[in-house]
Structure 1
Amino acid sequence: MVAVVALAATTAGLGAVPGTALADKGRSPVVTRAALDPSLVAGRGARVGFLEQEAENAATNGTVIGPDRAAYTLPSEASGRKAVRLTPGQYVEFTLPSAANAITVRYSIPDAPTGGGITAPLDVTVNGGAKKVMTLTSQYAWLYNQYPFSNDPNGDLLHPDWWITECQCVPNATTPAPVITKPFRPSHFYDEQRLLLGRTYRAGDRVRLTAPAGSGAAWTVVDLLDSELVGAPHVRLVAANVLLFGADPLGRRDSADAFDKAIAFAKRNRLKVYIPPGTYQVNRHILVDDVTIEGAGNWYTIVKGREVALPTPAPDGSVHTGVGFYGKDAAAGGSRNVHLSGFAIEGDVRERVDTDQVNGVGGALSDSTIDGLYIRHTKVGMWFDGPMRNLRVTGNVIVDQIADAINFHTGVRDSLVADTFVRNTGDDGLAMWSEKTANTGNTFDHNTVQTPVLANGIAVYGGTDNTVSNNLVADPIREGSALQVGSRFGAEAFTGHLWIRNNTTVRAGTFELNWNIGLGAIWFYALEKTIDADIQVVGNHFLDSTYNAIMLVSEWGVKDLYSISNVHFKDIRVDGTGTSVVSARVAGSATFENVDARNVGAVGVNNCGSFHFTPAGSEFSLTDLGGNDGGGTTGPWLAAWELPNTITCDDRPPVVAPPAPSPW
């Protein structure tokens, strides 16, 4: 989803005051999910084959940075809001919790002084044995400036006619002109790399990551390590093997034409296409329709391409092309019966150009499946333009995107995203965007979304009869929440129902500097239309919310035009808020039943309504259906005197950091 409201910088660089972690070779492994004890998120999120270990829990002679939730800092973009900083010669060492032959390292290294990134080595040893070297890069990280961002740390404002919160002014309308600190609003610091270790190691073996003494990076920040036991390559003997059509598994020459020939042969002979282990260079879209394409597994089969500038813009507005598997455009009838599985797509996208079709998977794909892909360094992992229906996206990993991970855009029906793991997107992790035509009957279920740098973890913009269930969303950084229900971006109205069930959010709710308020972990936003569909928010857990757990709001300029009603909260757990359980800044109503809260930092309900402060009370009404227990420092969160519409408006309440979540 395109985010157009810019946030101001609060700080840059490493962030919070660091502390040094003691090296401890005997330290037991601490396995987490979204930096939490896995028992706190049991049954929620993507079911994946790897185990997560946070660097701050490992043995190290480096420095722990964080925690910090202010945007534009390295710890704020880290999983769990902490990481470990290494200078040359320092290490962080992880103890394997289970047998593994592969690791993924999430890291950050500095940008080049003029942008464009650098490379630096990271030594990997297991039990002090033979060294492997990962070559880290910041070429796909470090964005600056206002939307749609820049790779230049020394650049002037992209939009000097926009309101800038740093100076509380419009710079080109201000005399004298304000001084804007450079680099301005640095972000998108992290990247990740995977490494096959060459053999299987046992639980208890020690993986040490060392920034070598000769590193060209002044520092290396390690956020986490994922360890995995990867199975043998998948083999398909009877298939249209791309090698037989001239594909180069060493990646020295472009294999796009060979892929096209293999697909054409497979369709004529009713075969599947098989891509054996190797790295294949593909620098344009591969058109897919009525075809099955299998790789040997996404650790073994890698389809990798450069971003290529087009001599003239394409009809869709693209000025670049690059690697991607695309169905036909919906206007041309779309594609059907496409099945993609078992390979990686690695792009070369380093800047945000919203008109570019440089996504990992795109087009319109009906009656199709996408399973077991690993996608990184594209603009959007998967962007689908309907009308289309019956697409199943399962078991994928999408990381390090310039924009969204997956977007159902315009008229997507009866489709599913499940067991997909998303980390480090530059916009919404998962989105349903009903622009022009409603998305209908879709489900996002059992997915994990971590550290979206911009916007939301999961967003639903309009639509009919959609479901968001059993997901885990952690650490949104700025201009968004873990979950957003939004009437915005030209979306069709919400109709029918929207089920938001059994999701867990953690460390969610960012500070909206243009509004100068904190957002909720779940955020309802009536910007362009009234929201009055049947919305059931049931069984969700909101853990360690930075500000509010639940927020319902409209823009000031349209607060008397649009409202939010028919929203029903039931069987909710709120464990820790920096401010309130509910913040209402809109007209309308909601019901609450069995909403239990603890460690609430401010008054339980911050009810401003639409800010008219009438003698009759707030324009937003809360209906107590019973069983709403607990609270915080000010007493019960849903106190009797707050009902049904008592004004309890504190525009900017002080924030009280809650304790870490614990078993209920």
Structure 2
Amino acid sequence: MPRTLTAALLAAALACGLTAPATADSAEPAVTTASGSSGAPTTGGSHGTAPVVTRAALNPALVAGRGADVPFLEQEAENAATNGTVIGPDRSAYTLPAEASGRKAVRLTPGQYVEFTLPSRANAVTVRYSIPDAPGGGGITAPLDVTVNGRGRTTMTLTSEYAWLYNQYPFSNDPGADLLHPDWWITECSCVPNATTPPPVISKPFRPSHFYDEQRLLLGRTYRAGDRVRLTVPAASKAAWTVVDLLDSELVGPPKVEAGAANVLAFGADPTGRRDSAGAIDKAIAYAKRKRLKVYLPPGTYQVNRHIIVDDVTITGAGNWYTIIKGREVALPSPAPDGSVHTGVGFYGRTAAEGGSRNVHLSDFAIEGDVRERIDTDQVNGVGGAMSDSTIERLHIRHTKVGMWFDGPMTNVRITGNVIVDQIADAINFHTGVTDSFVSHNFIRNTGDDALAMWSEKSANSGNTFDHNTVQTPVLANGIAVYGGADNTISNNLIADPIREGSALQVGSRFGAVPFTGRLDITGNTTVRSGTYELNWNIGLGAIWFYALEKDISADIRVTGNDFLDNTYNAIMLVSEWSVKDLYSITNVRFKDIRVDGTGTSVVSARVKGSATFENVDARNVGAVGVNNCGSFGFPSTGSEFSLTDGGGNDGGWLAPWLLPNTITCDDRPPVVPPPAPSPW
């Protein structure tokens, strides 16, 4: 959703002293090696190293029962054999390690390699990587050779055409662009640039981000556990460097066949992708609805450069590795009524104003868009519109603006088993009046905004559940965000590595959302390496943060059974904004059966008036102090305006008796103590 700054926030913000490094074809964002120094080669495992399988760069035992069930196994490049350089760890925004899974990756120059040992049988791999932008923006392409056991070379063509954003929201593809908003507060100069004389010189490119992309490759045969997949940058590559973050390996089954369905080939669809197939798919849909059949998309790549409107229809492919719906972004001759200036590939229900669509079932194909810039009014999402009583399963969506954006009112949509990667904005957003819907076992990586969001802008989203999803490396904002609404549940998710201006979990009264009412359950989730640095406030956020910007947050909110691991700053944060600090409060939040393993600063940070209860909250490896209690900064003699209630069983000494109920312990910027790696409790 749109990201703007309030005038009062800008006036109250403090500088954080960041500088933006150069990012031309021969340069890259600042990196640190594993030793913490700059530039010294540090290699990963040696030849023949046993495979290290992780989930969100963690030992899988630490996240058992959390996150999505996925068909692939993750291996981080820093654990593989390489003659390249391990970069990181680093959690500073605008750096390559910070956007890598686990905050580490491997940098290769031409001629260098990284080699993964397969942990299980596989016939397909996914490579997450970064290569430089073109000096003037727009991206480049570069080769990457793939061999298995030293044989059968295949060359992947990597691209940075969908990566590399710069500048302020809503960002630019031009590394040389001037400030998009010279009237905004800039932490780098501690100023509002257009209010200074002379204007400050801002380093260009300014705030580079969104460095990574990923590609999938079918290997042509099945390989055994122990076989070695080597990724080599050819000596003649024009890319000065290639960063490999990870490799996912998978055993993909044969293509699915739907006998008796309306096959789009019979209606003129072109599986080679040379001709536009949108009209043929429309004809197949119309025929299938008349005959009460499914629509089948057999293996192939189908060119579609506009929305396919779906209502009361089932569309299924041969599997998302085999059936690909791919399209260009197309400029409209004049803006559409909704403000769109482009269209592109997507499957859309009818709008809610038209009554929405019902009984739509989409499964087993990929959607590949062509979105390279963020224009919030554009409807260039993989799936959109309103769809009630519908299911969306096993899709693979990349390079669209938002994977799935739903404008309600609508009800009863089930979204399960999808992979959504490399988005300019969100992965899935329930926007306005989405009810009784379920989002489960989806894998999401590299979004440009909230990965999963319930945004009750005009009417409440209610009765929805986000359960057992995995979210990794959202470049901006939060892993999972709930903005207003009633009786929703966030459960059993795994959220890792948010990069900037967000957290793993956010409960926010902002963006014009209706109030929170009823009950909100946040249960059984695991977060890791979360809690980013808020540039404009000059403070670190929590892995979970409550933000009362526009209204009180006073619903029945229960945070139960969550694990907050390796928190960059705070584990739990409750905050208002300076301009409304005396207006809004956060109350009635209950934390129970929580484990906090490692904080850079505090277990709880309160910068708002209100109260919360803590029961069986166990913490260890706390960096500064258990509680940072600033309240609403009135500092009355009676104590902080925020009170903590001890429900009992809080272990680790973080909630000492002298802190209760409202001792002022306000230090927003204590020295950060990097916590040790998480370990079994």
- TM-score scaled by length of structure 1: 0.98
2:417 matched residue in structure 1: 395
Q: Structure 1: how far apart are the matches of 2:600 and 2:517?
A: 33
Secondary structure at the aligned position of 2:271 is classed as: coil
Contact 1:9/1:185 (CA < 8 Å) preserved in 2?
no
Three-state SS of the structure 2 residue aligned to 1:393 is: strand
Measure the CA separation in 2 of the matches of 1:198 and 1:55.
23
Distance in 1 (CA, whole Å) between partners of 2:573 and 2:304 is 45
Residues 465 and 302 (structure 1), Cα distance of their counterparts in 2 relative to 1, 3 Å cut: same
Distance in 2 (alpha carbons) for counterparts of 1:411 and 1:225: 39
**CA contact 1:3–1:427 (8 Å) conserved in 2:** no
CA–CA distance in structure 2, aligned partners of residues 514 and 436 of structure 1: 28
Local SS of the residue matching 1:262: helix
Say which SS state the counterpart of residue 167 (structure 2) adopts. coil
Q: CA deviation at 1:10?
A: 4.2
Residue of structure 1 aligned with 2:239, choices 213, 217, 227: 217
Note if 1:650 corresponds to 2:667: yes
Distance 2:3 2:81 in 1: 39
Contact 2:44 2:86 in 1 (8 A): no
User: Residues of 1 paired with 2:44 and 2:269: CA distance?
Assistant: 50
Map of 2:98 onto structure 1 = 76
Paired with 2:91 and 2:360, the residues of 1 have a C-alpha distance of 42
| CA deviation map 1:11-52 (0-9, x unaligned) | 540421354215622100000000000000000000000000
Deviation sequence 1:520-551 (CA, Å, 0-9, x none): 00000000000000000000000000000000
Match of 2:325 among 300, 303, 307: 303
- Structure 1 residue 237, shift from structure 2 partner: 1.2
Q: Distance in 2 between matches of 1:430 and 1:26?
A: 39
Counterpart check, 1:236 vs 2:253? no
Deviations 1:408-439 (A, max 9, x none): 00000000100000000000000000001000
Shift in Å at residue 8 of structure 1?
8.0
Q: Match for 1:358: what amino acid?
A: V
Partner Cα separation in structure 1 for residue 295 and residue 152 of structure 2: 38
Say whether residues 1:151 and 2:173 are aligned partners: yes
Quote the residue 1:617 is aligned against: 639
Aligned residues of 2:356 and 2:388 also touching (Cα < 8 A): yes
Greater CA deviation, 1-10 or 232-241?
1-10
Counterparts of 1:215 and 1:359 in 2: how far apart (Å)? Answer: 33
Q: CA deviation at 1:3?
A: 2.3
- 1:526 is aligned, of 520, 537, 548, to 548
Determine which of 198, 202, 216 is the counterpart of 2:224. 202
Q: CA deviation at 1:81?
A: 0.3
**Cα distance in 2 for residues equivalent to 1:139 and 1:556:** 39
Give CA deviations for 1:59-100 in whole Å, capped at 9, x if unaligned: 000000000000000000000000000000000000000000
Partner of 1:2: 2
Work out the CA distance in 1 between the residues paired with 2:30 and 2:372. Answer: 22
1:652 to partner: Cα distance: 1.1
* 2:679 paired residue number: 662
Q: Report the equivalent of 1:114.
A: 136
Match of 1:362, SS?
A: strand
Could you tell me which residue of structure 2 aligns to residue 608 of structure 1? 630
Distance in 1 of aligned mates of 2:45 and 2:614: 48
Counterpart pick for 1:588 among 590, 610, 614: 610
CA deviations on 1:439-479 (whole Å, 9 max, x unpaired) are: 00000000000000000000000000000000000000001
Identical positions, percent: 83
Count residues in correspondence: 659
Q: Deviations for 1:575-626, whole angstroms, at most 9, x for unmatched residues?
A: 0000000000000000000000000001100000011111110110000010
CA distance in structure 2 between the aligned counterparts of 1:626 and 1:318, rounded to whole angstroms:
54
- Which residue does 2:31 correspond to in 1? 15
CA distance in 1, matches of 2:44, 2:602: 37
Over the aligned positions, Cα root-mean-square deviation in angstroms equals: 0.9
- In the alignment, which residue of structure 2 is the partner of 1:515? 537
- Work out whether residues 20 and 205 of structure 2, in 8 Å CA contact, stay in contact via their aligned partners in 1: no
Cα deviation, residue 4, structure 1 = 2.5
Q: Find the residue that maps to 1:265 and give its secondary structure.
A: helix
Q: Deviations over 1:159-215 (max 9, x none)?
A: 111111111111111011101000000000000000000000000000000000011
- Aligned pairs for 1:161-176 (under 5 A) are 161-176=183-198
Contact 1:3 1:455 in 2 (8 A): no
User: Structure 1 133/485 Cα, relative in aligned 2: closer, same or farther at 3 Å?
Assistant: same
Q: Is the Cα contact below 8 Å between 1:72 and 1:185 reproduced in 2? A: yes
Deviation larger for 645-654 or 441-450 = 645-654
For residue 556 of structure 1, the aligned residue among 578, 581, 584 is: 578
Unaligned runs of at least 5 residues, structure 2: 11-15, 22-28, 33-37
Q: Aligned to 2:290, what secondary structure does the other structure show?
A: helix
What is the 5 A alignment of 1:365-384? 365-384=387-406
Q: What pairs up with 1:54-453 in 2 under 5 angstroms?
A: 54-453=76-475
Cα pair 2:571 2:596 within 8 Å, conserved: yes
Q: Deviation string for 1:343-386 (max 9, x for gaps)? A: 00000000000000000000000000000000000000000000
Relative to 1, partners in 2 of residues 1:509 and 1:10: Cα closer, same or farther, differing over 3 Å? farther
Q: Determine which of 461, 464, 484 is the counterpart of 2:506.
A: 484
Alignment of 1:35 onto 2:50: no
Equivalents in 1 of 2:620, 2:183: separation in Å? 44
Alignment match, 2:599: 577
- Partner of 1:158, secondary structure, is coil
Letter in 1 for 2:260: V
The letter for the 1-side match of 2:668 is D
Q: Is the 1:8–1:513 contact (alpha carbons within 8 Å) kept by the matching residues of 2? A: no
8 A Cα contact 1:441 1:467, kept in partner: yes
Match of 1:640 in 2: 657
Match of 2:619 among 597, 601, 606: 597
Counterpart CA distance in 2 for 1:24 and 1:618 is 55
4+ long deviations beyond 6 Å: none
Equivalent-residue separation in structure 2 for 1:113 and 1:468 (angstroms): 42
For 1:4, give the aligned amino acid.
T
In structure 1, distance between residues paired with 2:271 and 2:441: 29
With over 3 angstroms needed to count, the CA separation of the structure-2 counterparts of 1:564 and 1:238, relative to structure 1, is same
SS of the equivalent of 1:75 reads: coil
- Say whether the 8 Å CA contact 2:20–2:204 is kept in structure 1: no
Q: Distance in 2 between matches of 1:23 and 1:51?
A: 18
CA distance in 2, matches of 1:80, 1:312: 44
| Distance in 1 (alpha carbons) for counterparts of 2:381 and 2:289 | 24
Which residue of 1 is the match for residue 482 of structure 2?
460
Q: 1:3 and 1:253 mapped to 2: Cα distance?
A: 38
1 CA distance for matches of 2:230 and 2:18? Answer: 34
Measure how far apart 1:216 and its partner are.
Answer: 1.1
Paired amino acid for 2:422: D
Secondary structure of the 2:110 match is coil
Once residues 11 and 416 of structure 1 are traced to their aligned partners in structure 2, the CA distance between those partners, rounded to angstroms, is 41
Q: Which amino acid aligns with 1:605?
A: V
2:527 to 505, 512, 536: 505
Tell me the distance in 1 between the aligned counterparts of 2:111 and 2:227. Answer: 21
Runs of 5+ unmatched residues, structure 1: 631-635
SS in 1 for 2:279: helix
Q: Is the 8 A contact 1:505 1:543 kept in 2?
A: yes
Structure 1 partner of 2:35? none
Letter in 1 for 2:69: R
